Amino acid sequence: MALFNCVMPLLNKGVCLSNFIKKDEIWILKRPVYDQQTSFLQKLQLNDGLDLPPQQQSDARKSSSPGSVVRELPGFHSGNSRLQEKDNEQRPDNISIANNFGSKKFPQTIIIGVKKGGTRALLEFLRIHPDVRAVGAEPHFFDRFYDKGLEWYRNLMPRTLEGQITMEKTPSYFVTKEAPRRLFDLSRHIKLIVVVRDPVTRAVSDYTQTLSKQPGLPSFQSLTFRNSTTGLIDTSWSAVRIGIYAKHLENWLQYFPLSRFLFVSGERLVTDPAGEMGRVQDFLGLKRVVTAKHFYFNQTKGFPCLKKPEGSSRPRCLGKSKGRPHPQISPEVLLRLREFYRPFNMKFYQMTGQDFGWD
């Protein structure tokens, strides 16, 4: 009878009787409650059934704990707070959700661009810092999923403790016309990081990535020019359009002052990762925890990797999709593209007060 008495509180809180089997006049739990994850886990980690991308669903399942699932049983207060709830709300049993698990908050910092500029490297370097908590996958809220609502967005965020920074990165925000206004409506005080790279090299890298997924892609030259005879550049091609940084920045400056931005050099992130990370940590108001001791240069990949953390047998390098060899492209094509970008680069230098040395 002792075991029967033990499970009665769970039964009283609404746990289905089918979870138990009767043996020798004693009710026994078929399997631990936390093994029955399907519905409870989805509700807790996927925001009451809201759709998430498959990768984020997978991440949610991996990150859940037995304790977090049990707290979704009827009779327990959900750890998923609503927008109007206070983050430090106390449950009836006097256990603070915020103190135990942290709180889901909107990002205080977003890496908004640019594609193939070094945003993934920057995010991974920042995640070493104990006061930074970041979403692994790109949420694409302000460009693709804005109609899902702010609560959906906030529930994608990791839980943070007092003093920690919530962060995400979606490089396509920088070139999305609606993104600045949408982000401004959320927070006019948010800090924005833009990782920029020589637009010619960036365009080739962008093309290389697409080519790896679409082997039948036309040549870089044919996509670059509207007319190869006149040499007119096709700015409708996204690989070219993204590199017109001055144009995209003008759109953002209609909503945010320059002081809200930090422009990170993609080149210096490779040649001097510790130096660039020092600037980033200063901008975020963080102690300089990520330093030169965390990096080593991987000659094979051609960019820095993180030294292996304690307890790990191998260092942390970006995946095989990073550092791909670029295809051979005619020097004349690259020269014409460089001439096209030069006036835009000059304007970008003037707007940001930084000379990135691309010309």
Task: Say if residue 140 carries a ligand binding annotation.
Answer: no
Would the annotation count 323 as a binding residue?
A: yes
How many angstroms from the chain centroid is the CA of residue 349? Answer: 27
Confirm whether residue 119 is marked as ligand binding: yes
Phi, psi torsion values for 352, nearest 5 degrees? -95, -15
Size of the chain, expressed as the number of residues it contains: 359
Was 205 annotated as part of a binding site? yes
**d(C-alpha 112, C-alpha 144), whole Å:** 14
DSSP calls for 72-103? TSTTSPPS---TTS-TTPBPTTS-BHHHHH-E
Instruction: Please indicate if the annotation marks 338 as binding a ligand.
Output: no
When computed from its CA atoms, the radius of gyration of the chain, rounded to whole angstroms, is 25
Angle between helices 54-63 and 37-45 (to 10 degrees): 110
- Helical (H) or strand (E) element with 325: none
* 325 marked ligand binding residue: yes
* 116 marked among binding-site residues: yes
Residue listed under structure tokens 């320059």: 258
Q: Is 38 annotated as a binding residue?
A: no
- Contact at 8 Å (CB) between 232 and 249? no
Joined together, the tokens standing for residue 213 give 């997924």
Measured CA to CA, the distance from residue 27 to residue 14 in angstroms comes to 16
| b/e map 81-95, b = 16+ CB within 10 Å | beeeeeeeeeeeeee
Name the region of 231 (left: φ>0; alpha: ψ -120 to 50; beta: rest): left
Among the options 104, 115, 116, 169, which is catalytic? 116
Judge whether 248 is annotated as a binding position.
no
Residue 321, class by beta-carbon neighbours within 10 Å (0-12 exposed, 13-18 middle, 19+ buried)? exposed
Q: Are strands 295-298 and 303-306 parallel, antiparallel or unpaired?
A: antiparallel
C-alpha 197/C-alpha 279 separation (Å) is: 17
322 is in an annotated binding site: yes
Q: Residue holding tokens 């908050």? A: 105
Active site residue 116: yes
Task: Return the beta strands (E) in 198-272 as ranges.
Answer: 225-227, 232-233, 261-265
Give the dihedral of Cα atoms 117, 202, 314, 124; nearest 10 deg. 10
Q: Binding-site residues for 3'-phosphoadenylyl sulfate, please? A: 116-120, 197, 205, 322-326
Q: Kindly list the catalytic residues.
A: 116
Q: Binding-site residues, please? A: 116-120, 197, 205, 322-326
